[in-house]
Amino acid sequence: MEFLVDLINSFLPHFRTVFLAIVSLGFLIFIHELGHFYAAKRCGIKVNTFSIGFGPKIVGFQRGETEYKISVFPFGGYVQMEGENPSEQTGASGEFASASLGSRAFVVAAGPAINLLFGVLVYGAVFAIGLDRGTANVISNFTGRPIGEAEAVQVGWVADDGPGAAGGIMPGDRLVSINGDSILHWSTFHKRVYVSPNKTLELLVERDGVHQTLSVKPDAIPSVRGDTGEIRVGSGHTTIVSHVEKGSFAAQAGIQDGDIIESINGERLHSVPYFGYGVWHPSADWIYEKYKALYNNINEHREALTLGIRRGDEVFTLQLSVSWQVLADVQEKSIAEEAGIQKGDMLLTLNGAPIHETTLHEQLMAAADQPVEIGLMREGDLKQVTLSSETHSSEMAPEAVMFGLMWRTSLSGMQLNPKTAPVPEYDLLTGFGKGVEATWLTVTAIGRTLQQLIGGEVSPKHLAGPVGITYMTGKLSRLGLSSLIFFVGFISINLAIVNLLPIPIADGGHLLFFAVEKIRGKPMPRKAQEIVQQVSILLLIAFFLYITWFDGASLISDLRN
């Protein structure tokens, strides 16, 4: 019985994700069909059925000429108009095909128009209600534009043996454009590199105030979706002192909250120093090797570490002694949280031995199957907690998350973070103005992706279908309601654009037929329409299965890792 309960609990988060995705996608398809329904009624076209969901009817009623019903499968809905199918057309009044060309175009365009309008309203509402940092980052990643004050897109660490270094990219370079597309956010650069394995990219950078054109050829990294591009270059950030502990070496040296650290021991700093748990993982990647090198550089000057500081318009250097403190971060619903460890606790001992920042990862991994005694300090008070896998109620195995305990390292009492622009606030009017702007950015981004697909620059393997959308819905829902709502708006805009493509079975295909009819002065032959639609349905099903295959493979790979 206990096994069954644990099994059900392990699947509950996935049920929640699927439920959210079904509700979101279902609602977007429903309002799409509602647009067709409303337009058809306005144009005098007989609507036989308006269904919420698909499949067998659960409940319904007849009002006038239309049957309204709720069906078994809640994946949206559909509108069935009289004479909509070419094989059912008789030429009678009230049929879809008997309506004027303008009326038919209005009915077809109404569905995508509703999705687009809904996307604008959702975007506007997200901006007007108020953004948090997480939602602002999500919006920037999807639109390719920073929220609020624009900051330069700079390069941080560069792997010495990577394609980026081979192409001439250097730490501190400001990214201007890639293959002619402006780079206003790191996501634009990252996405283009990701989909361009073994393809030479033209990169315009600014270095010391001078523009330079570089040619970079990303390595091909195998994945379940095929090869992906990698150049081994990290984004750069300005390093700001977010907190200084009272009485620490940093405080004694005169460092203040808000100071910007520009250099360490005379070397320019383009990335925020990080010495947390990931750096010391045995399988740490190249960027963590850079952090380790910086750590060693700092330790070589333990008695007199030299920092280049910017404070307002003033630039100066300070020297201080080096000390390290290990500060806890805790995974929600983990063993560490259940044991009472809190974010910010200073970790002092493990099983009675002093904790060292470079070996704590190895110690926890080795002790994951047995109780562990952690000594810590919180607000000046010493405490002891016990971590034991017997108290485990997390979804993940204890050895995978080290009891849910993570950590960051404070350097001489300083906490260092990236400098970020404040998240702006909008009123109702300006919020919806930003919603319109974000909608335009989304539309243009989708347009660029379609152009790259047609030109062969991007493989359709990287597209996402219902499985991929469900996975993303789950991820974004964990970031908060605003992020999830924004994503729903993003999908709605995508549905509008995709439905307007000149694909025979889509709304755009019908509009294309209407354009041909306008030019010819008469409709396309009924038989030709039927053949085109049947072929399109087969191709669409094949394409859907193709995308779903790669979505599923990616999902399985991510769950395994």
Listed by start position, the domains of the chain span 2-132+476-560, 151-237, 239-416
Task: Say if residues 442 and 490 touch (Cβ distance below 8 Å).
Answer: yes
Q: What is the identity of the amino acid at 393? A: S
First vs last Cα of the chain: how many Å apart? 29
Q: Which of 531, 507, 529 is nearest to 520 (CA)?
A: 529
> Under a CB-based contact definition with an 8 Å cutoff, are residues 362 and 279 in contact?
no
Report the pLDDT value the prediction gives residue 164, as an integer from 0 to 100. 95
Distance from C-alpha of 192 to C-alpha of 462, rounded to nearest angstrom: 12
The two domains 151-237 and 239-416 share their CATH topology (first three levels equal): yes
Count other Cβ atoms within 10 Å, centred on residue 123: 28
Structure-token pair, residue 538: 């087969």
**Angle at the Cα of 250 (from 248 to 252), degrees rounded to 5?**
70
Scan for tokens 């009230």, then name that residue: 94
Would you give the DSSP letter of residue 379? Answer: T
The pLDDT score that the predictor gives to residue 74 is 65
pLDDT computed for residue 284 by the predictor: 72
| pTM score, whole prediction | 0.82
Report whether 197 contacts 219 (CB < 8 A).
Answer: yes
Distance CA 469, CA 491 (A): 8
Query: What is the pLDDT, as a whole number, of residue 537?
Result: 77
Place of tokens 């493990």: 350
Q: What is the pLDDT of residue 86?
A: 63
**Six-digit token pair at 485?**
């709502």
Phi and psi at 170, nearest 5°, equal -125, 150
Asked if 324 and 409 touch (Cβ cutoff 8 Å), the reply is: yes
Rounded CA-CA distance 244/411 in Å is 10
Nearest CA among 29, 36, 108 for reference residue 73: 29
Taking Cα atoms as reference points, which of 338, 350, 485 lies closest to residue 28? 485
- What is the rounded CA–CA span in Å between residue 475 and residue 472? 5
Alpha-carbon span 385 to 366, nearest angstrom: 18
Helices (H), 283-421: 286-299, 335-339, 360-366, 398-401
CA 44 to chain centre: 44
- SS3 for 242? strand
Furthest C-alpha separation in the chain: 93
Rounded to 5°, the CA angle 238-241-246 comes to 175
- CATH number for the region 239-416 comes to 2.30.42.10
Nearest Cα neighbor of 473 from 30, 15, 9 is: 15
Instruction: Give the model's pLDDT for residue 155.
Output: 95
pLDDT of residue 89: 67
CA 205 distance to own-chain centroid: 26
Number of Cβ within 10 Å of residue 14's Cβ equals: 13
pLDDT for the residue numbered 397: 44
- What's the rounded Cα separation, in Å, for the pair 496 and 439? 11
Spans of the chain, pLDDT less than 50: 1-11, 391-401
Reading the block at residue 302, the tokens are 């333990």
Which parts of 43-147 fold into alpha helices (H)?
Answer: 101-129, 133-143
Q: How far is CA 331 from CA 401, 416, 446, 495, 524, in A?
A: 9, 21, 35, 36, 61
**80 phi, psi to nearest 5 deg:** -110, 110
Which overall architecture, per CATH, does domain 151-237 show? Roll (2.30)
